[in-house]
């Protein structure tokens, strides 16, 4: 699919780095203070165009399609490295753009890369904004504030727990609205709080449909497990990269990072994707009766994603860092799109203070 026409004031280009050719949007003055935006799963950099254009005049907006998404060169994600493929891609993009330090903004799964980036390269970070972030302990298969695995083999996380009909519809380029699993319906049902619909729905859908699919792409491979739900994480693709099995020290390493850039955490109060009872967490779905065989709260409770994130950020603050949690009312998983004025007010004030 062709890249949708950019909004006036945004430039689309391709940047060669030693690892891969990356598709990048830029806005604002070339000598401005860099603000780099990382998107989430089933999306692309173009979701940030309005947010980039709203930045104050002294900032340079940079948003890019991450490995496995959008129009960036298609290369495999080695999930055994956790988020490090994305971390290394960002590091090399910053070098290619001659950006020494930047404010970093990560949405959903994209925020997971920022925990690891801060742990590995804190000297290159001016600040961190987390929008509806995945837990520092990944997505699925953990319990309690400390992110303890529910099972030794991390069953309940990874590529095997993803809705395969949704994946097939991405691969088929489905733009319909008849089936509840169509990409259009998933976007409108779970990215936003009803009744919101984006005026850029067609462009956003085009960006979503660019996600690369397959057993070594999205969602990735999986292995059989003797414990519920009988699948464990594999070695390739984004969903396996999010499994705690493949990034077991990210939370601790993030907490210990020096120096500690300030952190802003923004989320919608009606988020169905990232929450303490996420509609994409197989344990939460099992509890609701949607997945048979759920072994109960004592064995596989829903992942307390918000509580885990808050606990990690508080420990980060206790060791000399700073974080602020802001909840936007009547917003779902995409407050920067649903409530742009409120989100931009928070972001811009934070950038000025950082």
Residue at token pair 């996600």: 211
Length of the chain: 354
Of all residues in the chain, the percent with pLDDT exceeding 70 is 100
Residue at 99 is within a domain: yes
- Which residue, 260, 258, 280, is CA-closest to 332? 280
Decide if 86 contacts 246 (C-beta within 8 A).
Answer: no
Residue at 2 is within a domain: no
Of all residues in the chain, the percent with pLDDT exceeding 90 is 100
- Which residue, 144, 91, 99, 141, is CA-closest to 119? 91
At 180-224, the pLDDT tens digits run: 999 999 999 999 999 999 999 999 999 999 999 999 999 999 999
Checking if the pLDDT of 142 tops 90, the result is: yes
Confidence of residue 1 (pLDDT cuts 50, 70, 90): confident
Residue at 167 is within a domain: yes
**SS3 assignment, position 59:** strand
Checking if the pLDDT of 261 tops 90, the result is: yes
Q: How far apart are the first and last CA of the chain?
A: 39
At 298-346, the pLDDT tens digits run: 999 999 999 999 999 999 999 999 999 999 999 999 999 999 999 999 9
- Whole-number Å distance between alpha carbons of 150 and 281: 13
Residue at token pair 């380029």: 173
Q: Determine the structural domain holding residue 112 and report its residue range.
A: 10-353
The pLDDT assigned to 30 comes to 96
Residue at 252 is within a domain: yes
- Whole-number Å distance between alpha carbons of 289 and 267: 27
Residue at token pair 């929008």: 131
Phi, psi of 148 (to 5 degrees): -70, 130
In CATH, what number is assigned to the domain containing residue 251? 3.40.50.1820
**SS3 assignment, position 142:** strand
DSSP letters spanning 214-283: ETTSEE--EEE-SSTTSEEE-SBSHHHHHSGGG-TTHHHHHHH-SS---EEEEEETT-SSSSTT-TT-HH
Decide if 332 contacts 267 (C-beta within 8 A).
Answer: no
Residue at 3 is within a domain: no
pLDDT (mean) for 260-284 = 98
Residue at 76 is within a domain: yes
Phi, psi of 190 (to 5 degrees): -110, -20
- Whole-number Å distance between alpha carbons of 156 and 232: 6
- Whole-number Å distance between alpha carbons of 265 and 310: 9
Q: Which residues contact 10 (CB under 8 A, 6 or more apart)?
A: 25, 26, 27, 49, 52, 53, 61
Residue at 4 is within a domain: no
Kindly state the DSSP code that residue 68 receives in the 8-state scheme: T
Q: Which residues contact 133 (CB under 8 A, 6 or more apart)?
A: 106, 107, 108, 111, 112, 114, 265, 267, 274, 309
The overall pTM is greater than 0.75: yes
DSSP letters spanning 270-328: T-SSSSTT-TT-HHHHHHTTSSTT---TTTSPPP-HHHHHHHHHHHHHHTT--EEEEEE
Residue at 1 is within a domain: no
Count of domains in the chain?
Answer: 1
């Amino acid at each position: 699919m062709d890249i949708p026409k950019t909004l006036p004031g945004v430039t689309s280009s391709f940047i060669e780095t030693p690892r891969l050719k990356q598709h990048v949007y830029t806005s604002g003055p070339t000598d401005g203070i860099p603000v780099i935006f990382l998107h989430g799963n089933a999306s692309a950099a173009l979701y940030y165009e309005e947010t980039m254009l709203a930045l104050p005049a002294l900032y340079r907006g940079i948003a890019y399609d991450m490995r496995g998404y959008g129009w960036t060169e298609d290369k495999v994600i080695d999930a055994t490295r956790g988020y490090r493929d994305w971390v290394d891609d960002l590091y090399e993009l910053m070098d290619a753009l001659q950006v020494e330090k930047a404010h970093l903004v990560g949405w959903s799964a994209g925020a997971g890369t920022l925990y690891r980036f801060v742990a590995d390269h804190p000297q290159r970070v001016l600040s961190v904004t987390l929008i509806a972030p995945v837990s520092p302990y990944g997505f699925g298969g953990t319990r309690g504030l400390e992110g303890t695995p529910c099972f030794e083999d991390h069953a309940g996380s990874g590529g095997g727990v993803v809705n395969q009909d949704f994946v097939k519809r991405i691969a088929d380029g489905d733009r319909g609205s008849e089936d509840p699993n169509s990409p259009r319906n998933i976007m409108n049902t779970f990215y936003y709080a009803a009744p919101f619909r984006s005026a850029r729905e067609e462009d956003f859908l085009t960006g979503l449909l660019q996600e690369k699919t397959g057993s070594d792409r999205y969602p990735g491979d999986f292995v059989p497990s003797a414990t519920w739900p009988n699948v464990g994480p594999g070695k390739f693709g984004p969903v396996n990269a999010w499994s705690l099995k493949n990034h077991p020290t990210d939370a601790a390493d993030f907490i210990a990072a020096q120096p500690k850039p300030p952190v802003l955490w923004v989320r919608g109060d009606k988020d169905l994707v990232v929450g303490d009872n996420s509609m994409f967490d197989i344990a939460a779905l099992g509890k609701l009766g949607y997945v048979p065989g759920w072994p109960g709260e004592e064995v596989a409770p829903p992942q307390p994603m918000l509580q885990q994130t808050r606990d990690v950020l508080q420990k980060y603050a206790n060791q000399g860092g700073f974080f602020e949690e802001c909840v936007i009312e009547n917003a779902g998983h995409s407050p920067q799109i649903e409530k742009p004025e409120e989100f931009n007010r928070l972001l811009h004030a934070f950038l000025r203070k950082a």
